[in-house]
Amino acid sequence: MEVDDEKLETEDIEEDEEEKEDFDKERAMQTIKNLRQKEKEAKALKKQLDDAQQKINEYNLANMSELDAAKARADEAEKKVKELQDNLTKAVLQQEVLSVATELCFSDISDALIFLDLSKVDEDRKNIKPLLKELLNSKPYLKGTTETKKGPPATGERQGVLDSDALYKQELDALRKSGKYLV
C-alpha cells in the first residue's frame, strides 16, 4: 500500500506542476477585461433600474387621488418640520452650553461642546452649569487663566483673559531675556 500512496503523491505533485504551467497571461488578461466589461454593464443596468424606479414613483404619485397626494405632501412636510425643530433645539442647547462655558472662563468655549456629553443635559437645561463645573474639575486644563488687568480709568479693575497685545509683550520680553531675540 505504501507504494500506491507514493504514486498518488507524485501524481498530485505532477498535476500541480501542470496547473502552474497552464497559467496563461493572455487568458488572464482577457478574463480581467471581461470582468471589467461586465462591471460596466452592471453599472449601466443599475442606472436604468434607478431611473425606472423613479418613473414608477412619479407615475404612482400622478395617479393618486388628490386626497392621497395631499396626505403624502403633508407627511413630507411633517418630517421636515420635525427635523427643523430638532435642529433648532440642538442649536439652542449648544448656545446655552457656550454661554455657560464663557461664564465659567473656559480657555476655549468650543471645548465645552466637545467634551460635554449633551445627552446628560436635562430637558429644562438647568444642569448645564453643574455639568460644566464637573468637567472643569475633571479636566482643569480647560479652564482659562484669568488675571487682574487695569482697564480704562472709567472702568477701573476688570477680570479677563489677557488680550493679544499683552501676550505678545510677555512673549517678546521672555525671548529678549533668553537671548533669542536681540532687538
> Tens digit of pLDDT per residue, the chain (183 long)?
455 555 555 555 555 555 555 778 888 888 888 888 988 899 999 999 999 998 988 887 777 777 787 888 899 999 999 999 999 988 888 899 899 988 888 888 888 888 888 888 888 888 999 999 998 999 888 888 764 445 555 544 445 555 667 777 777 777 777 765 555
Cα gap 10→74, rounded to integer Å: 76
Cα distances from 7 to residues 3, 19, 43, 180, in angstroms, run 6, 18, 51, 84
Question: What would the grid cell of residue 69 be?
Answer: 397626494
Are 93 and 122 within 8 A, CB to CB? no
Helices (H) and strands (E) in the chain, counts: 6, 2
Cα gap 83→42, rounded to integer Å: 36
Based on its alpha-carbon atoms, the radius of gyration of the chain, rounded to whole angstroms, reads 36
Does the pTM surpass 0.75? The reply is: no
Q: Is 153 helix (H, G, I), strand (E, B) or coil?
A: coil
What DSSP letter does each residue of 23-60 carry, written as one string?
A: --HHHHHHHHHHHHHHHHHHHHHHHHHHHHHHHHHHHH
Q: Is 7 helix (H, G, I), strand (E, B) or coil?
A: helix
> 135: burial class by Cβ within 10 Å (0-12, 13-18, 19+)?
buried
pLDDT at residue number 29: 86
